[in-house]
Amino acid sequence: MGFKALLMPPAIVATGTPPITTYAEFMATKTPAIWYRFTEASGAAVNSGSAGSGFNGTVPAEWTQGQSGTISAVDAVRVDSTVNATMEVSGASAQGFTNLTFAVLLNLPTGTLNANTANFTSGASSNRLFCGINSDGTFSISIRVGDNFSQVDTSQLVPRNQWVWIVTRWNGSTGAINVRYITASGVASPTILYQDNSATGTLNLRYGYLGLGEVVNQKTDEYIYDNSVWSDEDLTTLQAVTPF
């Protein structure tokens, strides 16, 4: 009696992209132009972004590098003075952005803040996007596109004495701009600080100033400038993978 060969079904191969579980994996999916990780113990802040070392940041005397942070053991800078401690980017020539995301990971101390603490960016006077935190800890934003200017001092408080992401997203094609903060505790999704859907145009920003100054013991861990608009899913992932 002959035997027939048994035909085995083909093996099932799993497909799809594995989930992102770490901050390093998340950043590997991004190509920011400017990315200051603040892992240096001293000296300039080295740009890990695609714009390269020509956009390293000059660390002011009022900052102390090599501070304990959240992404890794020693990867933060601390402000040590009440003067306006502003880091300038070496290649800060005007750049025309229609799409933009910038994200800053901050830790603001409790108590009274000095005026315009944590100014995240400023650009050319004719076109700019400026975000800051006021003396009472509330968030403010001003936008200028050509002759159109608006400034809003919101009533939204930025959390203190904890690490918090402030993420600003600008889409000049659709006119959508929104700013959210992201923390670990008690926030199911990123919280909106500011939102507008009519701010169309191109911002001729500089790659920036990072103004952390005017409050002692304020820390910053990460500073990211990306020429694309991060999605809501990106922000949810960022919240999940940041080791707050």
Residue-by-residue DSSP string for 38-99: ---SSSPBPB-STT-GGG-EE--TTEEEEEE-SSSSEEEEEE--SS--EEEETT--EEEESE
State the average pLDDT over residues 224-237.
91
Angle at 108 between CA 104 and CA 110, to 5 degrees: 165
Select, from the ranges 113-127, 166-180, 183-197, the one with the highest average predicted confidence (pLDDT).
166-180
46, 55, 87, 86: which is closest to 207 by C-alpha? 55
User: How far is Cα 115 from Cα 137, in angstroms, rounded to an integer?
Assistant: 9
State the average pLDDT over residues 164-178.
86
147, 56, 145, 70: which is closest to 104 by C-alpha? 70
State the average pLDDT over residues 222-242.
91
Domains of the chain: 31-241 (2.60.120.200)
| Both tokens assigned to 164 | 């918090």
Select, from the ranges 19-33, 86-100, 141-155, 187-201, the one with the highest average predicted confidence (pLDDT).
19-33
User: How far is Cα 32 from Cα 226, in angstroms, rounded to an integer?
Assistant: 4
Is the pLDDT score of 19 beyond 60? yes
User: How far is Cα 198 from Cα 179, in angstroms, rounded to an integer?
Assistant: 14
220, 155, 159, 219: which is closest to 184 by C-alpha? 159
Average pLDDT value for the chain:
80
State the average pLDDT over residues 22-49.
92
pLDDT band at 9; cut points 50, 70, 90: low
Is the pLDDT score of 102 beyond 80? yes
Percent residues over pLDDT 70 in the chain: 74
> pLDDT higher for 213 or 29?
29
